[in-house]
Structure 1
Amino acid sequence: MDEERCLQYLKANPYVLEALVTGPFVSRETFQKWAKKRDQKARVLYELGRCCEQLLCMNDVTVVMSSMDGAFQVTKNAEGEMKIRKLRKPKKAPYYVQKVVDCSETILGELHFNSPVTDRDLATVSVISTWAAATHYFAKISSQSSEFLADDTDKINRQRKLSNFLLEVAKSIFQDIISMDLVIMKIMNFAQKLVNADRASLFLLDTKTKELYARIFDVGTNASEHQKLDEDGAKDLRFPMNKGIAGYVATTGQVLNIENAYEDSRFNPEVDSKTGYTTRNILCMPIFIRGTVIGVVQMVNKIDGHFNRDDEDAFEMFAVYCGLALHHAKLYDKIRRSEQKYRVALEVLAYHSVCNKDEVNKLKKIHLTDRVSELETFDFNGMKLSELEKPLYAVYMFKALFQTDLRFDPDDLIRFVLTVRKNYRRVAYHNWAHGWSVAHAMFVLLFVKKDIFTPHEALALYVSCLCHDLDHRGKNNAYMKTMSTPLAAIYTTSVMEHHHFNQTVTILQQNGHNILKSMSSEEYKQALGLIKHCILATDLALFFPNKAKLNDYLDNGTFNIHTPEHRRLVQAILMTGCDLIASAKPWQVQTETVKVIFEEFYDQGDAERLSGKDPIPMMDRTKANELPQMQVGFMRGICLPCYELIARIIPEADSLRDRCIYNAKKWEELAEEQRKIAEAKNSGHENIEKKNINGD
């Protein structure tokens, strides 16, 4: 029999396997080894993964279980059976990996998120991953304890029952993590069932007032029979932490098991008088977080007698879950409040950063019916345009490129362009004027080479150029990292470029701004992916490896524009070329632009000097005399190689290379003049020193 036929037979005849496992040929030791191999961590990790998908509204979370033999993916088939298979190496790395580590620092597995997730989502994932790890840890402890109790069948069964119970608790919590009040109530319901109590109460410790108070009070056998205390204090049960059974436990951290509550002098009958309930016996347990009591869980009136030692042991283990629930309830509440504050902030920012109706109507009234031929050359000087003409021509260029091939709402396009303009900061160089110039350069490239890209690709390239420096602060990536700015804490690479892309997506998501809405879901996803790729390509750190790869393909004759990798490299190089377009403008435009660029550089250098750091020469205002020589290095080392590469791919754009060569020579002439002036000054100083030495 082969494996498949054997499995089919055993599924159809389960008694055969049962007879084998429980028969004389399998020892107790072998049976326990087999049972131990049925690790519950696969089940926990699977539930965790599905919970994350539910919370984050995605369906591409891969659950990976760690093992000495490698990584295994955990799934379920149509019949609900757990399937564990060897995980092959993925084609591309996931966007984010969440490790699930238990209390003993053992890595149980990983969650691979195959699409982007926000920081707030990751905080939520961290919360429920902690639950998953704790679940497995205590289930493992329970399983290990049962091995030492091999001669006591009842205790083994209780331990297994407790282990399964804890797993069910975690599973239930995963399903309802979105409502922490419901989570706490479920915890109390589980606690009440665990020790067969009639009531369960939860008291939290208010460290400021030194009081105990109830948030969820008296969860009874009837699921709807409870009091949910609101945050304004209605029905708030409060009493000093040194009063009553709960107060004693909160103060001392000891467990109390009281058979007759009213005979105990520590019992506080005020709670009974407020609720009309009669307390007979109590099992009260402190809840710890990092060694500090944060609350008390109290089980009241065991249904079938008194609370015993087994109840105490089971409840003590369960109290750890209560602590986690409370700790994460507070954390989750903070996350939710933070999210609401974030949404309010977005609303405020949207109001101030989105174009208004007057701006839109003003631009709509202007109709450019004739062809603006002067825009179709790289030499066009965008610096001479007014604030009204820039968005007007940006809309014109968009229509000229895509009017016949793509569907878009003209009003959405106008709103999009005006809002993009509004989201550029008023810094010296990386402002709206620069964004417009880069978009114009891409317009000319796409205009002279219409067949190189599909309409959707061309659209992504144009939008990327227009938005590539959104919300630029006039400081580069090195500054962001050195100064430990908030953006540098969010993004580890291409800090500003990632931010520019996110700003682009934010604008597209604004009502009435989505110029991509006519695309299908798949087309929209591809367009955003290409926009991200193109904006990130404007990080000059990526230019050098991109240039090297593309030159290799061209040199060895293997370049093919239809190969996806080659195509993306071309798009990246074109983005760099458009971003550096000032170096290929007429000399007068080039010199005016360089002055503005270095003014922004010097502003960064001044900020670095104020922070006690020495700026690099390019950003040091005191070394402004070295500007021509710096420009020579920049033109020869970055700009010219970029335009030479573009000319190899798009010969129609060879004017960019020629203009760059001309400008580089002009900077070399200025650098030589500057060198001669410096030598003359040095020579004059030497003559003066000689005269002083000779006494002349």
Structure 2
Amino acid sequence: MDENSVLNFLRDHPEFLEDYIVSPEVSPDTFERWSIRRAIKFKIPKRPFTGTPMAGGWTIIPGSRLIYETTRDSGNFRQSGECTRILYEITQCCGQIMGTNAVELIVQNDEGAFSCRKTEEGELKLKKVKNSKNASYIQTIVNAANQTIGEIHFYIPLESSEKSIVNVVCTWAAAANYFSEIYNHKSQAGPDSLDVHENIAKQRKLSNFLLDVARSIFHDIVSMDAVIVKVMNFAQKLVDADRASLFLVDSRNRQIYARIFDVGTGDEEHVRVNSDGQKEIRFDMSKGIAGHVASTGEGLNIENAYYDERFNADVDSKTGYTTKTILCMPILIRGVVIGVVQMVNKHNGAFTRQDEDAFEVFAVYCGLALHHAKLYDKIRRSEQKYRVALEVLAYHSVCNSDEVNKLKKIELNNRIIELETIDFNGMRLSELEKPLYAVYMFKTLFSETLRVAYHNWAHGWSVAHAMFATLVNSPEAFTKLESLALYVSCLCHDLDHRGKNNAYMKSMETPLAAIYSTSVMERHHFNQTITILQQDGHNILKNLDPEEYKETLSLIKHCILATDLALFFSNKAKLNVILDRGEFDFSNREHRLLTQAVMMTGCDLVASAKPWSIQTETVKVIFEEFYDQGDAERLSGKEPIAMMDRNQAHMLPQMQVGFMRGICMPCYDLIARIFPKADKMRERCEYNAKKWEELAAEQKAKQEATGSKNGDNDS
């Protein structure tokens, strides 16, 4: 089958060709491109809208395949079909980027608001609407006069980064509409204006370019350099120049610079490598045409470069290139010059006033392009940092084979009696031994069904040991799943702790505080636990059936959140009421949950129930962390509380007395009422509290003696 036979078949069967063109085989974008090519090829003039009614109360706008519903009280639809087509394409672009069809374009004019959609025949259909559906997010599109010409309604929630993306795309829409209005105005300006067909061709060319950039900015444009290349290529074609250059302004160093340049045609002596490892060419703003424009913010149209004293001929002398005509325009954002675009050597004669006008308008577009390219460079860099953070998190939540092999080489006795007492000093264990002892405790409690992953956190280990000592001495108190949740929660309750408390996270408005409104760090610790469980080979709960798995995760969350001291007081009050009334019953799920919560607090504070030597050593470490937080708060202009204030270190004994008497002792009193065998924790805490009271009394006596001595000296 040759070409002629195909053409003859299509002529004889036009319905076949029509069915194929409007079928899903041809995408709307392809159909649109064919239509535009046909209009340009045959120079089909774009006629003004006449409002020809159609059956069914809809109206078609000639030239743009746009129809809308007429009403008795409305006149002609004043918004151009080209503008609406641009807005519709932008809307579809946003929908594709967000991965949803739940978007709607609402265009506006003097007659009201119209919903826009595309029919099966490929026409744009407008229907007047009174009240649009409740949108989750609305992005407005404004014209050069800051008037709203359209809205994109999203019926799905959008993240803040997605809203930024939509904002960028709509900026392109506004720029495209601006250019359409400019060229429409020129085509109606009178006999001295360009030929109407040439204006239509330029308008379509510009609109198509803007649409192409809007579509491709999230696909092939991956950096600011790519945006600059697109800008330079189009600017060069816009005024028919031989070469194009774009320089950015470094106002701090009073320099202009470019990363996109041809070294063979530039001044290699000025080439430098910036902090990102990229080559740059830099010039002082006091030199050359571009430097003058960057300094003054005024455009220049030079017919003979060598007759202008501001022209720097050094580049020509080194490259052999002859610069004749120059058109150089500033790029401004909010009145500040951010760059300079320079066109060199128009192919036919000198740059005209019309070139200046077109280029001045285009410079506005350049500013938008560069501004949003910078924004997306920042977003891309932030995304890369986020991925690095995920990699670091994954690295720290997975133990490698070398670490596992080291652990396997260490042998432990079948039973370690001293580990079953609360007096055991975990500080004498090496960092390698701690996870091994954690595995031993886990196996002792749950050796029949489960295995544990590798953990290496000293505090988590101590808390887990306290829970182990409690559970092994009261094995009948909880079910296996509850005991499992308690032990795992102790190991994981401080995963990825930042050394700062919840109050700090909220006052500093950290990202974590933005995610979680209550129990900020505790919720983060639980999420890190889930992250570890999801790692290959680390799901120690995989042998549980779905219901048991769900229940265990729920208990783990409950137990980890219970380590938020803000929750302890309400838990304590509720449990005391139940015990005082003699209503406590281990078979009651609510009673068990309250008991588990208080036990988590008791194990978390276990340092206060350790022998005095361990207690004092631990307190020093704790307060050093507190002081680090206080230092950070003071650097941020906030005054830390006394407990966090390094300058109040002499008050440590008094603060410990308050902590021991206000939180620790009530907690262990409560635990001892439920588990009599845990009374030793209460006794040890009482002993330590009295020791702190002795130190506080000594400190107070010293202060009084010092104050009295100073008073005598004063007298």
Query: Is the Cα contact below 8 Å between 2:332 and 2:364 reproduced in 1?
Result: yes
Deviation at 1:272, TM superposition (A): 3.9
1:634 counterpart residue number: 663
Match of 1:283 in 2: 327
Alignment CA distance shift 1:299-1:486 (3 Å): same
Q: 1:134 maps to which residue? A: 171
- Tell me which residue corresponds to 2:601: 580
Larger Rg: 1 or 2?
2
* Structure 1 residues 366 and 544, CA gap change in structure 2 (3 angstroms): same
1:396 is aligned to 2:440: yes
Note the alpha carbon deviations across 1:576-606, whole angstroms, 9 max, x for none: 4453133898996498887677666655776
Of residues 64, 76, 83 in structure 2, which corresponds to 1:30? 76
User: Shift of the alpha carbon at 1:339?
Assistant: 8.1
Counterpart amino acid of 2:217? Answer: I
Q: How does 1:307-346 map to 2 (within 5 A)?
A: 307-326=351-370
Stretches of structure 1 lacking an aligned partner (at least 5 in a row): 1-7, 54-58, 91-96, 116-121, 220-224, 425-429, 552-565, 645-653, 686-696
Q: 2:429 aligns with which of 379, 387, 392?
A: 387
Closer, same or farther: CA 44–531 of 1 in aligned 2, 3 Å: farther
Distance 1:148 1:190, change over 3 A: closer
State the shift of 1:202 in Å.
1.5
| Secondary structure at 1:216 match in 2 | coil
> Kindly tell me: are residues 657 and 160 of structure 1, through their superposed partners in 2, closer, same or farther at Cα, counting changes over 3 Å?
farther
Deviation at 1:297, TM superposition (A): 0.8
The separation in 2 between residues aligned to 1:337 and 1:190, in whole angstroms, is 27
User: Does structure 1 residue 433 correspond to structure 2 residue 462?
Assistant: yes
Structure 1 residues 101 and 621: alpha-carbon distance in aligned structure 2, compared to 1, 3 A threshold? farther
Give 1:294's aligned residue. 338
Distance, in Å, in 2 between the alignment partners of 1:571 and 1:620 is 39
Q: Quickly say closer, same or farther: Cα 1:133–1:620, change in 2 above 3 A.
A: farther
Mapping of residues 607-618 of structure 1, within 5 Å? 613-615=640-642
Change (3 A) 1:272 1:434: same
Cα 1:127–1:614 change in 2 (3 A) is closer
Residue range with higher mean Cα deviation, 159-168 or 440-449: 440-449
Deviations 1:446-476 (A, max 9, x none): 99755657xxxx9887555313224546653
Q: Structure 1 residues 17, 519: CA separation in 2 closer, same or farther (over 3 Å shift)?
A: farther
User: Residues 237 and 194 of structure 1: is their aligned pair in 2 closer, same or farther, counting only changes over 3 Å?
Assistant: same
Deviations 1:459-512 (A, max 9, x none): 8875553132245466533355567889879987645446656876898899xx
After the TM superposition, which residues 617-628 of structure 1 pair with which residues of structure 2 at under 5 Å, given as runs?
622=651, 624=653
Query: Retained in 1: the 8 A contact 2:139–2:167?
Result: no
One-letter amino acid of the counterpart of residue 364, structure 1? K
Label 1:468 to 1:585 Cα distance change in 2 as closer, same or farther (>3 A).
closer
Alignment deviations for residues 399-422 of structure 1 (CA, whole Å, 9 cap, x no partner):
56777767x8x8xx3xx32xx33x
Judging changes above 3 Å, is the alpha-carbon distance between structure 1 residues 670 and 320 closer, same or farther for their aligned structure 2 residues? Answer: same
Letter in 2 for 1:615: A
Letter in 2 for 1:132: V
Match of 1:466 in 2: 491
- What is the CA distance between 1:195 and its match in structure 2? 3.7
Amino acid at match of 1:580: T
Q: State the Cα distance separating 1:189 from its structure 2 match.
A: 1.8
Q: Give the equivalent residue in structure 1 for 2:563.
A: 538
Amino acid at match of 1:467: C
Name whichever of 314-323 and 325-334 sits farther off: 325-334
Aligned equivalent of 2:538: 515
1:246 alignment counterpart:
290
**Match in the other structure for 1:476:** 501
Quickly say closer, same or farther: Cα 1:247–1:474, change in 2 above 3 A. closer
**199-208 vs 662-671, which moves further:** 662-671
Q: Which of these residues, 53, 60, 79, is aligned with residue 21 of structure 1?
A: 60
Contact 1:255 1:286 in 2 (8 A): yes
CA distance in 2, matches of 1:100, 1:443: 64
Q: 1:477 to 1:132 in 2, by over 3 A?
A: same
> Shift of residue 665 of structure 1?
13
Q: CA deviation at 1:395?
A: 1.8
How far off is 1:188 after superposition?
A: 1.6
Partners of 2:163 and 2:121 lie apart in 1 by 30
1:171 to 205, 210, 215: 215
Report SS of the residue matched to 1:246: helix
Residue 332 of structure 1 and its aligned partner are, at CA, apart by 6.2
Query: Alpha carbons of 1:324 and 1:660: their partners in 2 closer, same or farther (altered >3 Å)?
Result: farther
CA contact 2:333–2:367 (8 Å) conserved in 1 = yes
Question: Residue 364 of structure 1: CA displacement?
Answer: 0.8
Aligned partners of 2:610 and 2:685 also within 8 Å: no
2:410 match = 366
Q: Does 39-48 or 350-359 show the bigger shift?
A: 350-359
Structure 2 counterpart of 1:31, one-letter code: F
Distance 1:283 1:501 in 2: 62
Q: Residues 260 and 633 from structure 1, CA distance in 2 versus in 1: closer, same or farther, beyond 3 angstroms?
A: same
The one-letter code sitting in structure 1 at the alignment partner of 2:429 is: E
Q: Percent identity?
A: 44
Q: Which residue of 2 aligns with 1:691?
A: none
Separation in 2, partners of 1:446, 1:177: 63
| Deviation at residue 296 of structure 1 after TM alignment | 1.3
Q: 1:655 to 1:77 in 2, by over 3 A?
A: farther
The SS at the match of 1:21 is strand
CA contact (8 A) 2:331 2:363 kept: yes
Which secondary structure does the structure 2 equivalent of 1:30 belong to?
coil
Give the Cα–Cα distance (whole angstroms) in 2 for the partners of residues 529 and 303 of structure 1.
Answer: 74
> Which amino acid in the other structure matches residue 171 of structure 2?
A
1:212-231 to 2 correspondence within 5 Å?
Answer: 212-217=256-261, 231=272
Higher mean Cα deviation, 271-280 or 168-177? 271-280
Cα distance change of structure 1 residues 146 and 395 upon mapping to structure 2, 3 Å threshold: same
The normalised TM-score by structure 1 is: 0.58
CA distance in 2, matches of 1:129, 1:33: 22
Aligned to 2:46: none
In 1, the alpha carbon distance for the partners of 2:618 and 2:122 equals 62
Give me the whole-angstrom Cα distance separating, in 1, the residues matched to 2:573 and 2:222.
Answer: 49
Contact kept? 1:582, 1:593, Cα under 8 Å = no
Q: Number of residue pairs matched? A: 590
Amino acid in structure 2 at the alignment position of 1:32: R
Does the 8 A contact of 1:287 with 1:322 survive in 2?
yes
Aligned with 1:478: secondary structure? helix
Aligned to 2:44: none
**Greater displacement, 583-592 / 460-469:** 583-592
Q: Deviations over 1:8-44 (max 9, x none)?
A: 9xx89x9989994148996995333585994866754
Q: Which moved more, 1:269-278 or 1:484-493?
A: 484-493
Distance (Å, rounded) in 2 between the aligned partners of 1:50 and 1:550: 55
CA apart distance, 1:538: 3.4
- Note if contact 1:584-1:663 (Cα within 8 Å) is conserved in structure 2: no
SS at match of 1:316: helix
Answer yes or no: is the 8 Å Cα contact 1:197–1:300 preserved in 2. Answer: yes
